[in-house]
Structure 1
Amino acid sequence: MSAADLARLQFAATTGIHWLFVILTMGLVPLVAITHTRAVFTRDPVKRALRERTTRFWGQLYVINYAVGIVTGLVMEFQFGLSWSGLSKFAGNVFGAPLALETLIAFFAESTFLGMWIFGWGRLRGGVHVTLIWLVTLTAYASGYWILIANGFMQHPVGYEVRDGAAYLTDFGALLTNSSALVALLHLTLGALTTGGVFVAGVSAYHFLRHTKETALFRSSLKLGLWVSAVASFFVVVVGEMQRPVIERTQPMKHAVLENSGVAEVQAQLVKEHGPGDYVPWQDTVRISMDVMTLIGNTVSTITLIALVLLWKDRLMRLRWASWVLVVMIPFPFIASVGGWVVRELGRQPWIVYGELTVEDALSHVGRASLLVSCVLFIAVFLALAVTNWTLITRFALRGPEATQLGATEPLPDDAPEGPTGNADEKRPLPAF
């Protein structure tokens, strides 16, 4: 493999693994926020206690995914300097600010709010506490917005001018309203909600297969997961189709490959505009990834709609085959999201900044041996983190609410009192969490 191939493999593998953390984080946190809101504003003490336990159960799974995933995110920024210094030199003046904002939001604001939420159980008034988890949700999606602004410039560069071989920002508004970023953000949001909903529904269905005693907790979780995933999966397909006109206008070669028509004509056009070169990406990989994403999207939408119908009179909980379908479906949205990422990134090759900078020109002057070592090490570490993450999530998900440690704290003497809008817990021994 060439140095360019190793650098591409390293970035593709690390980004792809990191994305698996991100999509679950963004999909699960709104559901945790919804369950917490319901708990805080429930006056019935029995129902409030049940909804608090529900929040802590799903919140613990979310915290595990976030804590391990943030480690993988720290590495992503450094690769621009290590392997892709040409990209940083050309486009750093434009997307340096969005990347910096994404880092500040994800690793500072979001982490701060989440830490306050984690340690606020039994110590903060309900209204303040639930506001924190909604701030975590808001910052998670704000982080996604800024990273897509940076990526949108690579897909469809706008609001800039080139001086002395480097791009300089001339229209910040154009950068913030880039169609390649905004439509993708909506698609990402719906895909994340689909992932979170399917995850919650699948784990809940598994506990019904085990004849759980936590019937009320997992019944409400199953309903929430199915409603969110059914609605989101339907619209994620619709919004996905909305991106085709944007792709046709901004990246005609990707559109030609996806349509399997007019590739030769677009190749000839790009040769006239940019000079000799092969402007056709890996057609089979792009088309197969698109087909997989579309097939999974329609499948998840259909299954979740059927499952919603089966919820009537709790038929879904009594049909073991239906519960197994929901369990088996958990990985599907993850596979679809990776397929979408492959289409978005690979489909614009050989450009790293479309029409301005090729992958070869963006590569750092790093030896092949150094890239080989870093590629092996990065991928090995990321795989180890992914295995650790899913081992922990699986372990705590299978144990159920009785093993939940999040929020099990010993209240301090001056903590917020219990009440209709409070969430102070009864006294428990302090766990090692």
Structure 2
Amino acid sequence: MDIVLLSRWQFAITTIYHFLFVPVTLGLTLFLALLETCYVTTKRAHWKEPCRKLLKFFGAIFLVNFAMGVVTGIVQEFHFGMNWSEYSRFMGDIFGAPLALEALTAFFLESTFIGIWVFGWDKLPEKLHCACIWLVAIGSNLSAFWILVANSFMQHPVGYAIENGRAIMTDFMALITNPYVIGEMSHTLFSGIATAGFVLLIICCWKYAVDDASREVFLQALKAVSIYLIIGIMGAMGTGHVHTQYLAEAQPMKLSSMEALWETEDPAPFAIVADINQEKRQNDTEITIPGMFSFMLYNKPEGAVQGINQLQAAAEQQYGAGNYIPDVTGLFWCFRMMIACGGAIAGLAFLIGGLAWVKQDWLLKYKYLLALTPFLLPLPFLANSAGWFIAEAGRQPWIVVGLQKTADAVSPNLTPGEVFITMSGFTIVYLILAIIAFYVICRIIHQTTIDTANDEGRAL
């Protein structure tokens, strides 16, 4: 098997697995910070203790997720030396700076104040303890920012020069104000809020349905979580829409591949479904909405969108002969899966949130349906994985757009057997870790009771 393809598969598996935990951490730290702020400032004494126990309950789940994110994230950095040494040689001067800043700033905040927050209950003043979780939230999201700064350069290089065959940073401010990182960071932030909000919504629905003693507390939690989720999913949709419009300028090949638009059209239709024939560079059959894609990009039902075939010809003229078309089928269907999952999440958020706020009797009457909501848990993770597939696969065949191809970035001395063995090992270890983490989180959920009647509650 091709060494480049195997290395890409290995990196994809470890990255997607790592990114199962990252959005939950990003969103959950912010929710915990907001919840503890409410705990510290509330004037309703009868809710203070239940709020504290909710904090410890959600905090225990956060700690398991955070630990998994840290462990799986460490592996990512080793890939650049083991599998992608030519990339590291070419990009080290630029790629190393944001990674170093992540360790010096973001990871320092997270690792220091998460310990103080965990062990500081009843030892620190309430406001100081609350400040600790805010610093953890800032550190977690700052970590995402530095990683996205590095990734955004790979997508849209700025502030650099080529010297002696290597990319050299010439403008650090251009690097961190890259228009691509602004779109990626805002979308990632709101996606994290939506992911964490949906996970919490599922947990609250389950506890409301099966735990009679905790029902009143988790009804109130449902109200707060539903608002948080709605903010997250609507923000993710809005920032995703704006970023997609930006792709028309920054990465037109990725954009047209997401739509399987082979020829330039004005106005451009939106394909609901399509039978894509990448070998012939055409769609054998398709169902489209006329003008909709132009409307999505330009906010009006007209405007030309460049076709894949025209973009391929332009790339050949600029970079030389070669295939500059990414996996159109994968991008097309991942884009639609992301949209479908986002729509389902939004619908569920408005439905359950609305019932929690205005029709509590309906929630109680149909609580058995709430007990089925855990089956919907994969939705945000499917959306996140699809989004990252679009971001990474959409720039192929480039690892750094316009500067270095993926085939030129792989380590020269690797063998397919070595990559296959390590990829299999990572997959098995990650599967075991996933089972353990899932078991521990389920145990926390099952063993936690928060009863306002007798003020008893416990969480691992």
Structure 1-normalised TM-score? 0.90
Q: Distance in 1 between matches of 2:195 and 2:205?
A: 15
1:41 Cα offset (Å): 2.0
Structure 1 residue 247 corresponds to structure 2 residue 247:
yes
Q: 1:391 aligns with which of 419, 425, 439?
A: 439
1:211 Cα offset (Å): 4.0
- Residue in 2 that maps onto 1:258: 258
Per mean C-alpha deviation after superposition, the further-off stretch among 300-309 and 199-208 is 300-309
Say if 1:198 and 1:329, in contact at 8 Å, map to a contact too.
no
1:151-193 residue CA offsets vs partner (Å, 9 max, x unmatched): 0000000000101110011111111111111111111111111
Per mean C-alpha deviation after superposition, the further-off stretch among 176-185 and 309-318 is 309-318
Identify, as 1 or 2, the structure richer in strand: 2
1:234-264 residue CA offsets vs partner (Å, 9 max, x unmatched): 2211211111232121212111112322111
Q: Distance in 2 between matches of 1:75 and 1:317?
A: 45
Where 1:280 maps in the other structure, the secondary structure is coil
Where 2:162 maps in the other structure, the secondary structure is strand
1:295-322 residue CA offsets vs partner (Å, 9 max, x unmatched): 1112211221122221214133432365
Amino acid at match of 2:10: Q
Q: 1:363 aligns with which of 399, 405, 410?
A: 410
1:88 Cα offset (Å): 0.8
Per mean C-alpha deviation after superposition, the further-off stretch among 380-389 and 290-299 is 380-389
Amino acid at match of 1:387: I
Q: Which runs of 4+ in 1 moved over 6 A?
A: none
- Residue in 1 that maps onto 2:272: none
Amino acid at match of 2:117: W
Distance 1:182 1:117, change over 3 A: same
Where 1:161 maps in the other structure, the secondary structure is strand
- Residue in 2 that maps onto 1:377: 425
- Residue in 1 that maps onto 2:289: none
1:9 Cα offset (Å): 0.8
Amino acid at match of 1:349: Q
Say if 1:40 and 1:127, in contact at 8 Å, map to a contact too.
yes
- Residue in 1 that maps onto 2:448: 400
1:100-152 residue CA offsets vs partner (Å, 9 max, x unmatched): 12233454320111011001011101011000000000000000000000000
Amino acid at match of 2:335: M
Aligned residue runs from structure 1 range 302-321, under 5 A:
302-311=347-356, 312-314=358-360, 315-320=362-367
Q: Distance in 2 between matches of 1:254 and 1:231?
A: 28
Amino acid at match of 2:25: T
Where 2:213 maps in the other structure, the secondary structure is coil
Aligned residue runs from structure 1 range 211-290, under 5 A:
211-261=211-261, 262-290=307-335
Q: Distance in 1 between matches of 2:37 and 2:12?
A: 38
Q: 1:300 aligns with which of 336, 345, 356?
A: 345
Q: Which runs of 5+ in 1 are unaligned?
A: 404-425
Q: Distance in 2 between matches of 1:213 and 1:348?
A: 52
1:396 Cα offset (Å): 1.0
1:382-406 residue CA offsets vs partner (Å, 9 max, x unmatched): 2222222122112212222469xxx
Q: Distance in 1 between matches of 2:381 and 2:171?
A: 35
- Residue in 2 that maps onto 1:195: 195
Where 2:399 maps in the other structure, the secondary structure is strand
Q: 2:374 aligns with which of 327, 340, 345?
A: 327
Say if 1:23 and 1:192, in contact at 8 Å, map to a contact too.
yes
RMSD: 2.0
- Residue in 2 that maps onto 1:22: 22
Amino acid at match of 2:93: N
Q: Which runs of 5+ in 2 are unaligned?
A: 262-306
Q: Which structure carries more relative contact order (alpha carbon 8 Å, separation 6+)?
A: 1
Say if 1:234 and 1:298, in contact at 8 Å, map to a contact too.
no
1:324 Cα offset (Å): 4.2
Q: Distance in 1 between matches of 2:70 and 2:341?
A: 27
Identity of aligned residues (%): 33
Say if 1:205 and 1:317, in contact at 8 Å, map to a contact too.
no
Structure 1 residue 47 corresponds to structure 2 residue 60:
no
Amino acid at match of 1:343: I
Say if 1:81 and 1:88, in contact at 8 Å, map to a contact too.
yes
- Equivalenced residue count is 408
1:270 Cα offset (Å): 0.3
Structure 1 residue 160 corresponds to structure 2 residue 152:
no
- Residue in 1 that maps onto 2:301: none
Q: Distance in 2 between matches of 1:59 and 1:175?
A: 35
Q: Distance in 1 between matches of 2:241 and 2:443?
A: 38
- Residue in 2 that maps onto 1:6: 6
1:23-63 residue CA offsets vs partner (Å, 9 max, x unmatched): 11112111111221111223444321111011000000001
Say if 2:61 and 2:444, in contact at 8 Å, map to a contact too.
yes
- Residue in 2 that maps onto 1:120: 120
Structure 1 residue 351 corresponds to structure 2 residue 407:
no
Per mean C-alpha deviation after superposition, the further-off stretch among 317-326 and 270-279 is 317-326
Q: Distance in 1 between matches of 2:369 and 2:120?
A: 38
Amino acid at match of 1:335: L
Say if 2:107 and 2:139, in contact at 8 Å, map to a contact too.
no
Distance 1:317 1:100, change over 3 A: farther
1:378 Cα offset (Å): 1.8
Where 1:214 maps in the other structure, the secondary structure is helix
Q: Distance in 2 between matches of 1:324 and 1:238?
A: 31
Q: Distance in 2 between matches of 1:129 and 1:317?
A: 36
1:198-243 residue CA offsets vs partner (Å, 9 max, x unmatched): 1111111111221421123211211111111112212211211111
Per mean C-alpha deviation after superposition, the further-off stretch among 316-325 and 26-35 is 316-325
Amino acid at match of 1:187: H
Distance 1:389 1:104, change over 3 A: farther
Amino acid at match of 2:334: S
